[in-house]
Amino acid sequence: MMYNEEEKWTFEKTEEEYEEERQREVRLFQKRVETGGRALNIALIGPSGCGKSSFCNSIMTAFNVEGWREWATTGHYGGLAEQVTHSLLSFPKSDYLGLSALNDYNYPTLVDMNGFNDSSDTMVEELLRIVFFGKLPEEEKLMHAVKLYRSKGIDGLRDHYSKNYEHLKIDRIIFIASATSPLPNRLMEAVRNIARKEDRVIPVFGVLTQKDRINEEDKDYQALEKDFREGLGLPYNRFLLCTTYCDDYDMHHGKSRLDQRHPELDIPILKFMRQVCDPVMKVIKDETEYKMQSPNNTATPNNQVTNEASPNESWATINGRSLPINDAMWIRGLVIAVLINVLLSFMSKSMDISRVCAEQCTGTKCHSGSVQFLCEEQSGFGRIIVTFLSVAVVVGLDIILDKLE
């Protein structure tokens, strides 16, 4: 593990000095979230494994009087954390402050968003719109929305969620990525598109985690930071490079976050969140509501909505509705075509054999033993077997493709 010169210098401070500086930052933050009005809803979004849940816990630890707790479940990709946070989870101030006296302040509600892959297709952008407009019910699995999109298309998805109550309308977006991994450029593009091209424009902030693992003077890191800030359109005051409460940091310092907090981690996060929660920054056209038709779509002369297809997706219009044609549908069509060809061939041969049997056989007896055997094989049972196997292949294929999807 690598630590830069700035952190080596800061380690020379005493714990008392750190705590004094932390308390000063807490007081400055509380001036930004004074009583009155309502608390901001802040969405935290990033790809799996970027340290998003650790950053979420670190924010709440910096706000909390008692120290670190695992409010947002963390873990490795594919484990329990992925299963839990593939739905929308919110953490209002009443969950994490731990001191009733602080409840008068407008500490923000943190909305933990997971389940978004590095993608920027039509479905991902619409799901982001649904979340940012507060239309996705809390703890609802994102996979439910994905299945709805697959079955009813983009119009069905919009129609379903447009009827929901606005529960957690997002006021700020914090995009989180790792300083040691390739950037999720397509997801960054999708977030920027929805946050800034809609009528309701939401301020976007960016965080790179795992500062303790990189050298800030390294050219590769500097190029990554530049791409990250430009990809989200971030000035320096809306960007943070930080280390979060995690196992690696505990091991490096030889003290557990369960027993003792790390004020050196709290301070930069408190400074950053003071900028995020600055009431001077406004959401443009904040009262705008979720619409059935995205402002980015244009209407055709016959009032049909033109949907932007992803690179691996084509569209067909059936009864005036645009439906996606994906790779699985092409595979199903190909297999069914092959099965139909085989059945037609079987039926053609069956008709020829039936004609020979009619000419060579009288009742149940045929002129030749070989013809007798052939005609017996040409029974209805054989046809039933072939038909049953064909149906089984199509059904099995459908199940397998759904699982793969």
- pLDDT at position 235, please? 95
Residue 292 pLDDT exceeds 70: no
> Looking at the predicted structure, is the pLDDT value of residue 284 above 60?
yes
Q: Which two tokens stand for residue 276?
A: 């995020």
**Intra-chain end-to-end CA distance of the chain, in Å:** 38
pLDDT, tens digit, for every residue of 249-279?
A: 877 777 788 877 889 999 999 999 999 999 9
pLDDT tens for 126-184 read: 999 999 999 988 878 888 888 899 999 999 999 999 988 888 899 999 999 999 999 99
Mean residue pLDDT of the chain comes to 78
pLDDT at 375: 65
Quote the CA–CA distance of 173 and 176 in Å, as a whole number: 10
Is 70 exceeded by the pLDDT of residue 374?
A: no
Cβ neighbour number for residue 61 with a 10 Å cutoff: 23
The structural domains of the chain, with segments of one domain joined by +, span: 5-276, 327-404
- Residue 28 pLDDT greater than 50, yes or no: yes
Structural element, H or E, at residue 28: helix 15-32
What pairs with residue 322 in β-bridges? Answer: 317
Spatial separation of the C-alpha atoms in residues 349 and 220, rounded to whole Å: 68
Q: Rounded to 5 degrees, what angle do the CA atoms 379, 381, 386 make?
A: 110
Which residues neighbour 153 within 8 Å (Cβ) at sequence distance 6 or greater?
321, 322, 323, 324
Average pLDDT rounded to a whole number, residues 243-247: 88
Pairing relation of β-strands 41-45 and 172-178?
parallel
Q: What digits encode the pLDDT tens for the residues 175-191? A: 999 999 999 999 999 99
CA distance 387 to 374: 20
Amino acid at 294: S
Contact between 174 and 205 (Cβ < 8 Å): yes
For 5-276, the fitting CATH number among 3.90.79.10, 3.40.190.10, 3.10.20.600, 3.40.50.300 is: 3.40.50.300
Summarize pLDDT for 30-76 with one digit per residue, the tens: 999 987 778 999 999 998 888 888 999 999 999 988 888 888 877 54
Beta bridge partners of 172: 42
> Token digits for 232?
């989200």
Write down the pLDDT at residue 381.
53
